[in-house]
Amino acid sequence: MKKTTLRIDGMMCGMCEAHINDAIRAALPVKKVTSSHVRGETVILSDKPLDREKLARCVGATGYKVLSASEEEAEKKGLFARLFKR
C-alpha cells in the first residue's frame, strides 16, 4: 500500500478539508483520504502509486494549491498487524 502526503496551501477549515477529500475520492482510486487544515496537509492511502499531476489538477480545481508531494510505503497499523508483527 502507498501513502502519499500532499502539502496544500489555502485550507482554512473543516469544509476545506472535506472539499479536497471529496475531489480526490471522485478523481482517483484511493482507499483512504484525510486532510488537516491545521497541518496544511492531505494524506492518501492507495494500492498503487498515484499520478501527481492528476492530484495537483484535482486539488487545484477546488481552489487550493499543492505545494509539495511525497510518497512512501504505508505501514499497516491494524490490530492484527500489531499482534503478528515479527
**CB atoms inside a 10 Å sphere around CB 55:** 21
Q: Pick the residue with more confidence: 45 or 84? A: 45
Domain locations along the chain: 2-83
CA distance 69 to 55: 9
Which architecture does CATH list for 2-83? 2-Layer Sandwich (3.30)
Question: Which pLDDT score is estimated for 49?
Answer: 93
Among residues 65, 67, 1, the alpha carbon closest in space to that of 32 is found at: 1
Please give the share of the chain, as a percent, with pLDDT higher than 90.
Answer: 85
Lookup result for grid cell 487544515? 37
Q: What is the pLDDT of residues 27-58, one digit of tens each?
A: 999 999 999 999 999 999 999 999 999 999 99
Backbone angles phi, psi at 54, to 5 degrees: -65, -40
Q: Which three cell numbers stand for residue 23?
A: 475531489
Q: Is the pTM of this model over 0.95?
A: no
What's the rounded mean pLDDT across residues 67-84?
A: 79
